[in-house]
Each structure stands twice: as C-alpha cells, then as structure tokens.
Amino acid sequence: MFGLFKKKQHGGGGEIERVATHLKVMGYDLTPFGAGVAVANLMSGYNHVETASYIALITMALDIRELRESGSDIVKLASYYTHAMALLEVLKDYKDNGTMREELWKNYSNALFHASYVDENQEKWVAMILSDPVAGKQRLATSRIN
C-alpha cells in the first residue's frame, strides 16, 4: 500500500499523484479523503484513470446536489452540463486509447450526462450516484472551475 504514495523511479510520480494529475485535467483537486478512496480503488483493480473518473463523477454529483439544495438559479445549475460534456470528451479519449475500460466508460458517461442535464430526472440520477456509502461521507475532490 505504501508504494502507492512513493515516487516511482525513472521520473514518474506515484499512483496517487497520477490520479491527482488526471483529476486536474478533469477540473478537480483531490482532497486527503479522496486520496484514501483513490488508494482503495487502486488496490481493488481500478487504474489511475478509472479512479480519477470515479472521483470526478462523485464530486460533480455532490456539487450538483449542493447547488440544487441551495436553491441556485437554473443558469448556474445548467453550467454543470457544459462541464460534464467537456469531461465526457476527456473520458472518451481515455476509453479510445485503452486506459479506461469500455464498461466503465458506458456507466460513467451515462451517469454524468443524466446527473448534469437539468430535467425532472436529475435529482434521481444524482441520488443514485451518491448512494455509494463512501461518496457521501466526505468530499473526494474540489472543483477547479468557477
């Protein structure tokens, strides 16, 4: 487990740093709690891209839920759709280059689309994504996008 945090030889970062780097591309910064979740995911067989994608999905769903609960306006809520579409492009590139499994791409892309699309089903999708017991405990990442 401790090897996940160590720097690899030959100039590469450890696995957690790789997850954090991919999260930055996706628009998020990893939290300490998220790093713990990342370790668990990596030890369960998910690679760094799949782990970062999972954390991004959970974080976006949490952000949308918090925004809905605050009574924010529809324009701000709809801005998550734009972020989700950009994130889907990144995830599609990962899938196309073989760093994300097809099954995960399908699941994550479907969930991202429905959670970010403002309609009568949005709350249901957000609740489904956040039903993971780890997802609601603490914030896994924070958004880099205003």
The answer, yes or no, to whether residue 1 has pLDDT greater than 50, is no
pLDDT at 96: 97
How many domains does the chain contain in total?
A: 1
Residue 23 within a domain: yes
Residue 84 within a domain: yes
DSSP output for 96-131: HTTSS-HHHHHHHHHHHHHHHS-STTHHHHHHHHTT
Residue 24 within a domain: yes
Residue 114 within a domain: yes
Strands 28-30 and 141-143, how do they pair?
antiparallel
Residue 145 within a domain: no
pLDDT tens-place string over residues 97-106: 999 999 999 9
Lowest mean pLDDT across 7-11, 67-71, 99-103? 7-11
How much is the pTM?
Answer: 0.88
Residue 144 within a domain: no
Residue 74 within a domain: yes
Domain that holds residue 48: 2-135
pLDDT tens-place string over residues 19-48: 999 999 999 999 999 999 999 999 999 999
| Crossing angle between the packed helical segments 122-129 and 102-116, to the nearest 10 degrees | 130
**Interatomic CA distance for residues 71 and 35, integer angstroms:** 30
- Please say whether the beta carbons of 105 and 84 come within 8 A: no
Residue 142 within a domain: no
